[in-house]
Chain A
Amino acid sequence: MTQHELATRDLTLCHGRATIIDRLALTLPAGEVTAIVGPNGCGKSTLLAGLSRLHAPKQGTVLLDGRDIQQLPARELARRLALLPQEAIAPEGLTVAELVRFGRQPHQGWLRQWSAEDQQVVRQALAAADVSELAGRPLDTLSGGQRQRAWIAMTIAQQTPLLLLDEPTSALDLGHQIEVFELVRRLAADGRTVVMVLHDLASACRYADHLLALRSGQLIAAGPPGEVVTTELVRRLYGIDCTLIPDPATGSLLLANVRRAGRCGDA
């Protein structure tokens, strides 16, 4: 899969008069998993909406391979960049396979409604997200984790080199979170660039190659989690003190002894 680069230049996003993202310049490393973290209201989801053209910038640009995404035709963008929003709503009664087939929409036309490639890609997408056995089940009968994997399968069927996920694991229990994260890692191993908004810093440390830390619309840290996550960063982001220890099995950072900033630990 060819790698594509997504970057922002001087990006300013506003809701009404409130500036949410303020003149942000960043580059998302191709072929890696980037996690956007930060406290509630820091503009994570708005940034993701801006990156996927859902939210038009007040100023500045989002560049996909050097081209302003506002200039790209909608279907072409949908063939390069897939988005899974936080509150994805599907029509009632749709089955998993039917949902995944909608992912082929940007590749189809009025007179090209179902090709050999469509068939093959849908089958692969179902398999990649491990939902082949659920293909015939209506979405409303699935568990949260299964449903989320079905949605991700739809974005896989879009065959885009870039995948943007907005809090893909919120509202999922731990087991289902891991299902989704492992799927994300498999997608990245296939050469996709994945960008996800996460509110759990420990998951971001474990599953992302690259971390973007946002606070009040400003980028305050960017880089590999092992290098940028410090107790100081955690305090600035969330107003908490903690001890960072490496996971004995994987080496990724864990937050221990978490407490509100300025208080002594219980230990």
Chain B
Amino acid sequence: MWREVSAESQARQRPGTERCERGAGDIVAPPGHWRLAWQAAGGSLPYSLLIDRRAFVAALILLLALLTASLAYLAMGSSPLPPQAVPAALVGRGDMMAVFLVQELRLPRLAAACLTGAAFGVAGCLMQTLARNRLATPGIIGIDNGATAFAVASVIGLGVSLAPPAMALAGATTAAALTFGLAAGGGVRGYRFIVAGIGVGAVFGAITQLLLAKVHIDTANAAYPWTVGSLNARPAGAVMLLAVGLSLGLGAALWLTRALSLMRFSDAVASGLGLRVARRRWQVLAVSVLLTGLAVAVAGPVGLIGLIGPEIARSLSSPRGVPVVASALAGALVMVLADLAGRILLSPIEIPVGIVTAVVGGPWLLWILLRPASRNLA
């Protein structure tokens, strides 16, 4: 029974007394934010938006870096152009050769690099948030490999008439279903989920190799860039489909940002704050799988982008939110730089972008694993 009530605590029991300390006129945005407010029609409560300054600046920096990298991408190659010739060539002026190089050869490939990079970046960011684990990217939990196996099956004409994007989507969905099914007992937040995903990925990787071993060497060669991840052989329709899918997926991810920032808490906390955890989890998973499948259909399994992109985005952004836009921009940036490096390092021989990202991403993965404060791994 509570008998002792001091005068001091009695005074503190009435927080309502400080109610009118500040009027509605001087709302201050929380530290590190800008607040945009405007009056709603009909005199109801004003609308307000909070913009995280650091996240905004991070996105701006990444956007500028992406633009610079894109300029370099368009200028550099086996026949380099002076950077100042690129803008002119983009609008169809100047040297015929330059216009051809930029508009016909490099620009479509740049667009594909940006789209796939952004899709992998967002997909990685969503999956990491969903599983509350930085290792849980679609590439690591087997979704890339599932999409690849199915797409390769369609490329080498294994009696399936679906186009690569549809097959890649089917593969991504199958792999996701398997991983989630196998991890069902332990939930998505733990080693069981990651280990199940690695196993599923390994099985699909083996299936891909098996498919390639059984077909004629020329067919296998045609499918090879696909299995390592390359922007050299891009199915035309797949890029368009990815563009549409990415705009939808990015829109959905932005719509889910508030839910995503709650998902970083333990489920009980998130649900206590009014989040329908199970429903949101399905939505986030669906967007992540869709983006992965469509991106794999264009570039093959360059899944490490899904690890590196969000990692860069998070280190630049604030811990207050989930950096969806920054992950898209960082993913695109890494993809553009990696493909550029692959094109010029051993020119005229081209290194597939998947190999470049593996060379860079492998050590990155090790660093995450070996970092002393790896609290997010559990």
Contact = CB atoms under 8 A, between A and B. Distances in A.
Given A78-B273, A251-B1, 10 more contacts: A52-B272, A83-B271, A94-B319, A94-B320, A114-B35, A155-B272, A182-B9, A185-B5, A186-B12, A190-B13
Interface in A68-111: 74-79, 82-85, 87-94, 97-98, 101-103, 105-106, 108, 110-111
Give chain B's interface residue range (CB within 8 Å of chain A). Answer: 35 or more
Nearest to A122: B30
B251 to A, nearest CB: 13
Given A79-B274, A119-B28, A189 B1 contact: no
Nearest to A181: B2
Give chain A's interface residue range (CB within 8 Å of chain B). Answer: 35 or more
A112 interface: yes
B96 interface: no
B268 A106 contact: no
Interface string A131-174: 00000100000000000000000010010000000000000000
A231 interface: no
Interface string B316-335: 00011000000000000000
6 contacts: A54-B268, A101-B30, A105-B262, A113-B49, A115-B48, A124-B16
A242 interface: no
Contact of A206 (B1, B18, B50, B375): B1
A209 interface: yes
A142 to B, nearest CB: 15
Contacts of B258: 105, 108, 110
Interface stretch (B19-27, B136-144, B235-243): B19-27
B111 to A, nearest CB: 30
Contact of A189 (B13, B18, B266, B269): B13
Q: Which of B24, B28, B319, B375 has the most CB of A within 10 A?
A: B319
Q: Which of A79, A87, A98, A113 has the most CB of B within 10 A?
A: A113
Interface string A226-267: 100000000000000000000001111000000000000000
